[in-house]
Amino acid sequence: MPLAAPASPAALLRVADVLMLLVALVWGTSYGVTKQALTWYPVLGFLAVRFGLTFLVLTPALWAADAAARRNALAAGLPLGLLLLAIMLCETYGVANTRAANAAFLISLCIVLTPFAEWWLLRRKPGGTALVCTAVSLLGAALLAGGPGTVFGFGDLLMLLAAVLRAIIVCLTARMMRDRPSTALALTAVQTGVVGFGCLALALLLPGALPALPELPAFWGATAYLVLGSTVFAFFASNWALNHSTPTRVALLSGTEPLFGAVFAMLWLGEDFGLQAWSGGVLIVAASMWAVLRGRR
């Protein structure tokens, strides 16, 4: 029987586009799923369960790496894992204290903040486009929070801090992986282990932070969705797409994540999202996409 012809570049590109839209859908809906799961279990306990299970799923990838890659994953993954722990605490407490749609839009600010993190950490000065995109994004964030004169809520401020930390971790990861090369899955395994065990330790120190696990199938369904979909599938699909598409195309398709998040929050959680908030969210997404396009040029 003759062997099947290899897929054409155009076909691979179409598959990559579909995968990245699925990743954007999964990541966008993850904020609403997380918010619902937090109604059944507190933040620290939920993060310990979610990332502890993710660590178990990814442990084979860590052991499958060669000795040098494993050492490098541990050396880079431990400090990066602590930073990821801070990000997940800000994000999850932020989601618990704001609308899921707000969380999805505000976290996308990390795209326009990354050039400034590069300036600080990698000494790459941002151009005028980065300044304009940041100003537009901040205007969008203000509209999202309620317009001029409105004070950001506690959850919104935590999401803004998470966006800043995400911009920083992108640059630190690039620098550490350049100095200590390893496989992406091995590094992710170490990071998720730090987050899972770190949250477990914090939960054990605080009274009432680690009650008995819920028996509700809906809670475990949400947890499985976040572990397998938001982490394992999304990470693999993103890497595959980057190998069969262009970074600009992948970044632009990822930029649809907040829109999926907003629509899911409206339909699934019944969140009220008016014209002003939609305008702010669209400004954030548009500025992020413009920054990506100009940056790749």
The region that residue 290 occupies, defined by phi over 0 for left and psi between -120 and 50 for alpha, beta otherwise, is alpha
0.85 exceeded by the pTM?
no
Q: Retrieve residue 144's tokens.
A: 């999202």
Cα distance between residue 238 and residue 40, in whole Å: 31
Domain ranges for the chain, please list them. 9-208+217-296
Cα distance between residue 107 and residue 96, in whole Å: 14
Q: Retrieve residue 290's tokens.
A: 């413009």
Burial class from Cβ neighbours inside 10 Å (0-12, 13-18, 19+) for residue 225 reads middle
**Residue 88: per-residue pLDDT:** 93
Work out the end-to-end distance of the chain between its first and last CA atoms, rounded to an integer number of angstroms.
46
Cα distance between residue 270 and residue 275, in whole Å: 16
297 residues of the chain, pLDDT tens digit each: 444 445 555 555 567 777 877 888 898 899 889 999 999 999 999 999 999 999 999 999 888 888 888 888 898 889 989 999 999 999 999 999 988 878 877 887 777 777 777 777 767 776 666 677 777 777 777 776 665 555 678 998 999 899 889 888 877 877 777 777 777 788 888 989 999 999 999 999 988 778 899 989 999 999 999 999 988 888 777 766 655 655 556 555 666 777 788 778 877 777 777 777 778 777 777 776 676 666 555
**Residue 151: per-residue pLDDT:** 64
